[in-house]
């Protein structure tokens, strides 16, 4: 097992922590090290005490993440306690740290009467994850509204960047730097309109069309250009199909749900089956949104 150089005074450190406790699929083997910092100072100390070759995995709500059954050989950093600040300046600027839920951003922007932020209500994760993958819902995408971001490197040094410093596309954000998002400043347009009804309508649509309340990662695949992953999966006859405890949702074919006893291997096998079937039936490539990490059992 890899280790920290010293951990005596870091209360948030756990060893062999089951990641099934920290992913929305409720699946995942143990992480060698799991750390939940109380503030940025603790995070900086933790990063500086890590072995240089220890892999890092940053986790918010654990949506869009599949940890294999053998677990993660490295350190997991949970963002939702140390990075929970959400503020605004009354002029459409919103500062949100990585651990803030996207739902909270949407709710508060409605209260502050900022237009076009309601799409965040459809993203089942945190700001950090939304930044990392340019998450979107209901026609909106995260980086459409980013003014600047803050990142941290392995030494705990925080830097500020502009959108032009990244390669950004549909469900894709890339950089040559090995750094992680810790906050962003968003820019929204102010309005005098009543917005609460818009977000309520979107949440009703989401509840009617998606398996809300069941363990899933959100959407499994990106929508291919000019089409929808869910339509292709359903047309391939896979809606409701199961491998072990993993099932293509009977409600929305781009969701895979844990029916109670699914393993990561079940989910990964079902993802592969869907990709192979859609390719065979329609000659279309489905690209997973979900990030798969860790070791096979």
Catalytically active residues are: 171, 219, 289
CB 257 within 8 A of CB 247: yes
Taking alpha carbons only, the member of 121, 73, 128 closest to residue 100 is: 128
Structure tokens at 170: 């549909």
Residue 161, CA atoms < 13 Å, CB-side half-sphere: 22
Residue 246, CA atoms < 13 Å, CB-side half-sphere: 25
Which residues sit opposite 135 in a β-bridge? none
Angle at 179 between CA 14 and CA 103, to 5 degrees: 70
Structure tokens at 100: 């803030």
CB 284 within 8 A of CB 224: yes
**What phi and psi, each to the nearest 5 degrees, are found at residue 10?**
-105, 95
């Amino acid at each position: 097992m890899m280790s920290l150089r010293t951990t005596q005074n870091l209360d948030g450190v756990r060893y062999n922590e089951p990641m099934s406790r920290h992913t929305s699929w409720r699946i995942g083997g143990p992480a060698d090290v799991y750390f939940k910092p109380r503030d940025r100072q603790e995070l900086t100390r933790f990063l500086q005490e890590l072995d240089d070759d220890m892999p890092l995995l940053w986790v918010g709500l654990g949506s869009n993440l599949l940890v294999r059954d053998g677990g993660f050989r490295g350190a997991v950093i949970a963002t939702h306690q140390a990075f929970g600040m959400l503020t605004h300046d009354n002029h459409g600027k919103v500062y949100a740290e990585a651990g803030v839920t996207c739902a909270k951003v949407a709710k508060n922007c409605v209260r502050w009467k900022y237009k076009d932020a309601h799409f965040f209500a459809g993203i089942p994760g945190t700001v950090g994850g939304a930044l990392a993958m340019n998450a979107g819902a209901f026609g909106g995408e995260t980086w459409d509204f980013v003014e600047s971001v803050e990142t941290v490197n392995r030494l705990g040094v925080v830097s500020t960047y502009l959108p032009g410093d990244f390669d950004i596309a549909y469900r894709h954000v890339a950089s040559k730097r090995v750094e992680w998002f810790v906050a962003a400043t968003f820019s929204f347009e102010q309005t005098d309109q009543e917005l609460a009804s818009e977000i309520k309508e979107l949440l009703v649509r989401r509840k009617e069309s998606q398996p809300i309340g069941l363990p899933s990662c959100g959407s499994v695949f990106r929508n291919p250009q000019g089409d929808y992953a869910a339509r292709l999966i359903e047309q391939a006859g896979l809606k409701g199909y199961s491998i072990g405890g993993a099932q293509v949702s009977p409600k929305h074919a781009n969701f895979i749900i844990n029916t109670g006893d699914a393993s990561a291997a079940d989910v990964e096998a079902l993802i592969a089956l869907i990709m192979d079937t859609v390719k065979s039936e329609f000659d279309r490539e489905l690209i997973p949104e979900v990030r798969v990490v860790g070791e096979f059992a």
